[in-house]
Structure 1
Amino acid sequence: MGFQELPRYKVALIGDGGVGKTTFIKRNLTGEFLENYIPTMGVEPHGGILFDIWNISSDQSSTNSRAEYLRNSDAAIIMFDFSRRITYDNVINWHQLMLNNSGPIPIILLGNKADIDEQDREVKVSETMSRPIENAEYYDISTKSAKGFDEPFLSLCRHFFKDPSLEFLTCCGIPVPDPEKWEQLSKEWETAMKNPLPDVDSDE
């Protein structure tokens, strides 16, 4: 299956400013600042899948355009920061905004900075045991250490392929028989990474 023939799904990435959304995307795409990190891009036995990640601005002045970006999403990832309670309290508001614009879709809830010490947490681990969003999948992650990076996307793959036994490959799973095509694709990714993402957050 060629790159352009892979199934595509629009995933909205939302949450308060500074929770780590932009870093989450960049680390998943490039493994930036991570040693020996290989981005997982394929699933077995189905071949591959493409996620179009829309990093939605948290700027309240862009409410209308934000709603437009959320429409027709196939899934959503809502992120909060363990070190800032307000970002956890606002999860319910982000979920409601998502429902208003896309209806009921798969929701992944991510708690970032899972690696910080307990005394530095404003949101305790025990609080995440009772989800603020009913039926949402929940994962602890760390954009610093790459903890849990694959899990939300693996969950979405299992949902879209309707196969709970799916596992990611240990390396890139998209077959690229033509080296020239692979080189061109790599250049396109590099160019995309140099362009600013549509998010005004000052993410860490």
Structure 2
Amino acid sequence: MPEQPNDYRVAVFGASGVGKSSLVLRFVKGTFREAYIPTIEDTFRQITDTTGSHQFPAMQRLSISRGHAFMLIYSVTSRVSLDELTPIYEELVRIKGPRAMRSIPIMLVGNKSDEGDTGREVSTIQGEAVAQKWNCGFMETSAKNNVNVKEVFQELLRMETRQNMTLVGDTSDSKGILSCFRFLRHGSTHRGGSRGEKSAAKPLPTDTTS
């Protein structure tokens, strides 16, 4: 789908199997798929999550350069999946620039919180420490049990000083380590303040299929 002037692009990064597509599907469609499906193409435009994540650095750089906000997802059951986000964050800093990073909405998301303490490899405290180091938001979610799914997207947009955004769906340029989708921005495009400031973003829809 051609990019529109008012499109607000959110890039979702994370290793294969951490639940990127499950989280987005739960938010947009209210559904969850138990089995991991390497390729998912859904009808609310296109969210594609395929394997081979580290083989497409050029596509990763393109998504970073085009993105307005970013969600970095790992599984709390895999320390490796958290560690793999470090080079992605470093690439974000390199492409966007350290100064711009202070105002770009970024959420670090620990998915699969439903697994409980026995299955954990990353504690909540450890996740919070990484988020503090990166100066970004943090939240743990469960796409399976629909815990903090809507809230994590609302928090991401709360960081954005531009208001009145609604999800229109569309993702592209996704090869394993990333998925992208778009919010439609209405009204003012002024961007001021810092990440710590609150804005009155409208609640996001939990199901957008049109």
TM beyond 0.5: yes
- AA matched with 1:70: I
Match of 2:90 among 93, 96, 101: 96
Number of the residue aligned with 2:203: 168
Matches within 5 A, 1:33-44: 33=32
Give the partner amino acid of 1:65. M
**Uncovered stretches (5+) of structure 2, i.e. residues with no partner:** 34-45, 164-196
Instruction: Tell me how far apart the structure 2 counterparts of residues 56 and 73 of structure 1 sit (CA, whole Å).
Output: 19
Look up the SS of the partner of 2:9 in the other structure. Answer: strand
Using a 3 Å threshold, how does the CA distance of structure 1 residues 117 and 155 change in structure 2: closer, same or farther?
closer
Distance 1:12 1:170 in 2: 18
Shift of residue 99, structure 1, vs aligned partner = 2.2
Residues 72-151 of structure 1: pairs in structure 2 closer than 5 A: 72-103=66-97, 104=101, 105-132=104-131, 133-151=133-151
Aligned with 2:60 (options 60, 66, 75): 66
Distance 1:77 1:153 in 2: 9
Deviation for aligned residue 1:70: 2.0
Percent identical residues: 23
Q: Residue 130 of structure 2: SS of its match in structure 1?
A: coil
Classify the secondary structure of the residue corresponding to 1:16: coil
* Contact 2:25-2:32 within 8 A present in 1 as well: no
User: Which shows bigger deviation, 80-89 or 54-63?
Assistant: 54-63
Partner of 2:166: none
Amino acid at match of 1:164: S
CA contact 1:14–1:55 (8 Å) conserved in 2? no
Alignment root-mean-square deviation, CA? 3.2
Q: Answer yes or no: is the 8 Å Cα contact 1:14–1:76 preserved in 2.
A: yes
Aligned mates of 2:5, 2:146 — CA distance in 1: 26
Q: Match of 1:29, as an amino acid?
A: V
Q: What is aligned with 1:32? A: 31
Aligned partner of 2:107: which letter? I
Partners in 2 of 1:54 and 1:99 — Cα distance?
25
Which consecutive unaligned segments of at least 5 residues does structure 1 have?
A: 35-51, 173-184, 190-204
Amino acid at match of 1:152: V
On the 8 A contact 1:14/1:78 being kept in 2, the answer is: yes
**Secondary structure at 2:10 match in 1:** strand
What residue number does 1:13 align with? 12
CA deviation after TM superposition for structure 1 residue 58, in Å: 6.0
Deviation at 1:22, TM superposition (A): 1.1
SS at match of 2:63: helix
Distance 1:170 1:106 in 2: 19
TM-score (norm: length of structure 1): 0.64
Range 163-172 or range 17-26, more displaced = 163-172
Deviations 1:136-180 (A, max 9, x none): 0001100101111112221233223375354527877xxxxxxxx
SS at 2:125 equivalent: helix
Based on CA coordinates, which of the two structures has the bigger radius of gyration?
A: 1
Aligned residues: 155
